[in-house]
Structure 1
C-alpha cells in the first residue's frame, strides 16, 4: 500500500476532521473516496462531451414537428 501525504492549512484540516468525525468516517477512506469520485466524475464528463460532440457532428436528428409531418404523410 502506498502512502500519499497532503499538506493543508489549519482551517482546511479542521473542516475535514470535523466532517469526518461527524459522519463517523475514517479520514483516509473518506479522502480516497472523494478523490476517486472526483476523477471518475471528470472522466464521465469528458466522455459526455466527446459523445455529444460526435453526436452533434453526425446527427441525423429531426425536430418533433418534422417527425409529426413525416408520420402524417404515411
Structure 2
C-alpha cells in the first residue's frame, strides 16, 4: 500500500479531526474517499462539458434508454 503525506495547517487539521471524530470515521479512509470522490466529480464535469460541446455541434435528442445503451456499449 502506498503512503501519501499531507501537511494541513493547524486550523485545517483541527477541523478535519473534529469532523472525523464526530462522524466516527477513520481519518485515512475519510481522506481517501474524499480524494477519490473529488476525482470522480471532476471526471463527470469534464464528461459533461465534452458531451455538451458535441451536442452543440450536432444537436440530437435521444431517450434515456438509448443513452444508457450507448454508455453500456450495446
**TM-score interval for Structure 1 and Structure 2 normalised by the shorter chain:** 0.7 to 0.9
Are positions 1:42 and 2:57 aligned together?
no
Q: Secondary structure at the match of 1:7?
A: coil
Answer with 1 or 2: which has the greater Rg: 1
User: Which runs of at least 4 in structure 1 moved beyond 3 Å after TM superposition?
Assistant: none
Deviation, 1:60, is: 4.7
Aligned residues: 61
| 5+ residue gaps, structure 2 | 62-74
Cα RMSD, aligned residues only: 1.0
CA distance in 1 between counterparts of 2:28 and 2:60 reads 48
Q: With structure 2 as the length reference, what TM-score do the two structures score? A: 0.79
CA distance in 2 between counterparts of 1:38 and 1:60 reads 30
Q: Deviations over 1:3-50 (max 9, x none)?
A: 000001100000000000000000000000000000000000000000
Q: With structure 1 as the length reference, what TM-score do the two structures score? A: 0.79
Q: Hey, what does 2:3 align to over in structure 1?
A: 3
